[in-house]
């Protein structure tokens, strides 16, 4: 099999050298060139035709976001962003994923990370995953962006619409943020159900994801907080590095749910893990459940749907044609428990119909 050809774009000579050494250290990968900023990178992409690009966000002349927009417009190629663990870095990263970047890697200690060797395995794994997305890239970046909901107040107040009797559960990973932008904003503000989302992301990024989705949506979207009540008409996103579970709340004659967060060991290397949420719902919830498994690497969710199915839940998997990575949906489909397989643009409507 031919080696995966990688272009490294970073304004730091040190980072270019270290990232190149990490990539070249794997026999399946080969760095075919480096670039010192976005403008240089655009030239090198045209010259070298790499299979994957690693792209720093913060650079002089033309930064990562500006370069990414041109790459996706002129010469689409799988791009992995390198970002810092700051609020600004998180917002820029989420914008990059919306523009078409396949995935991102956070530098452990800022713009010039002397300890980047710590994430060597993550870099290699994500480069290999990204290489497999090239054939789908052109189709996926043409999905139109949703405009912010300007008529909705910036701070939305959830008005509980009766007892909690329905849950919509959504799990996703690689390619998930862009996919969520196509599903969550299509949910109406007065949904008679609560929505719980597990997106595989590190700490520091899920709050920015929730804020961005909230700005695009009529329904309230927030990062889940420990012990808060789970109400109809609200979307709760699992915080990075915490498992999201549900627990029963005593409300006199009626039952309710509240958020429970913990840092028990990762499941399959993941925290948050969708399986943990699904098992919790199967154990604690009494009502109607619709579960959606979207784009992502691995098999998170495939085990958890087994107990959900026993309680009568309906299961939706994203169709391969729109998945950036057809790992999680494929694993779910192979269990034989999925009720519907639908493309991304139909997931929201199908989930609401089932509810």
- The alpha carbon of residue 144 and the mean position of all alpha carbons in its chain are separated, in whole angstroms, by 18
- State yes or no: is 188 an active-site residue: no
**Kind plus residue range of the DSSP H or E element containing 350:** helix 344-354
Q: Report which secondary-structure segment, H or E, holds 55.
A: strand 52-56
DSSP of 81-93: EEE-SSHHHHHHH
Alpha carbons 6 and 34: distance in angstroms, whole number: 9
Catalytic residue among 173, 208, 217, 280: 173
Determine the Cα–Cα distance for residues 157 and 194; give it in Å rounded to an integer: 14
**Which residue of the set 10, 56, 214, 300 is catalytic?**
300
Which distant-in-sequence residues (6+ apart) come within 8 Å of 161 by Cβ?
190, 192, 232, 233
Q: Which of 338, 233, 261 is nearest to 293 (CA)?
A: 338
DSSP code of residue 165: -
**How far apart, in whole angstroms, are the C-alpha atoms of residue 244 and residue 300?**
14
> Which one from 200, 214, 217, 319 is the annotated catalytic residue?
200
Pairing of strands 243-251, 254-262: antiparallel
Our answer to whether residue 173 is catalytic in this structure is yes
How far is Cα 133 from Cα 180, in angstroms, rounded to an integer? 18
Query: Backbone phi, then psi, for 257, in 5-degree steps?
Result: -125, 150
What is the rounded distance in angstroms from the CA atom of residue 57 to the CA atom of residue 64?
Answer: 4
Q: Are 90 and 37 in contact (CB under 8 A)?
A: no
Closest CA to 270 of 139, 164, 174: 174
Task: State the Cα–Cα distance between residues 211 and 4, nearest whole angstrom.
Answer: 36
Q: Tell me if residue 264 is catalytic.
A: no
CA 329 to chain centre: 14
Q: Facing residues of 177 across strands?
A: none
Give the H or E element holding residue 223.
strand 220-223
Catalytic residues: 173, 200, 300
């Amino acid at each position: 099999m031919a080696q995966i050809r990688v272009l490294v774009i970073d304004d730091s000579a040190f980072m270019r050298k270290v990232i190149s050494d990490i990539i070249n250290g794997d026999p399946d990968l080969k760095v075919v060139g480096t670039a010192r900023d976005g403008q240089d990178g655009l030239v090198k992409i045209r010259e070298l035709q790499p299979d994957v690009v690693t792209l720093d966000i913060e650079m002089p002349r033309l930064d990562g976001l500006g370069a990414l927009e041109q790459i996706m417009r002129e010469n689409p190629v799988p791009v992995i962003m390198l970002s810092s663990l700051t609020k600004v870095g998180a917002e820029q990263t989420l914008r990059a994923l919306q523009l078409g970047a396949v995935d991102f890697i956070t530098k452990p200690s800022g713009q010039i990370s002397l300890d980047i060797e710590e994430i060597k395995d993550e870099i290699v794994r994500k480069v290999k995953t990204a290489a497999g997305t090239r054939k789908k890239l052109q189709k996926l970046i043409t999905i139109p962006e949703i405009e912010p909901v300007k008529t909705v107040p910036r701070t939305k107040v959830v008005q509980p619409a009766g007892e909690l009797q329905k849950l919509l559960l959504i799990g996703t990973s690689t390619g998930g943020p862009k996919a969520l932008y196509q599903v969550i904003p299509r949910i109406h503000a007065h949904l008679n159900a609560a929505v719980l989302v597990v997106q595989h992301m590190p700490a520091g990024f899920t709050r920015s994801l929730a804020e961005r989705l909230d700005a695009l949506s009529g329904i309230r979207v927030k990062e889940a907080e420990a012990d808060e009540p789970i109400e109809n008409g609200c979307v709760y996103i699992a915080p990075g590095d915490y498992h999201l579970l549900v627990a029963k709340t005593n409300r006199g004659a009626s039952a309710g749910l509240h958020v429970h967060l913990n840092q028990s060991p990762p499941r399959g290397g993941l925290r948050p893990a969708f399986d943990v949420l699904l098992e919790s719902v199967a154990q604690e919830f009494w009502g109607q459940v619709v579960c959606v498994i979207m784009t992502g690497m691995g098999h998170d969710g495939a085990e958890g749907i087994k107990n959900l199915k026993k309680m009568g839940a309906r299961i939706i998997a994203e169709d391969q044609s729109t998945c950036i990575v057809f790992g999680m949906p494929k694993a779910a489909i192979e269990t034989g428990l999925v009720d519907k397989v639908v493309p991304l643009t139909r997931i929201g409507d199908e989930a609401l119909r089932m509810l």
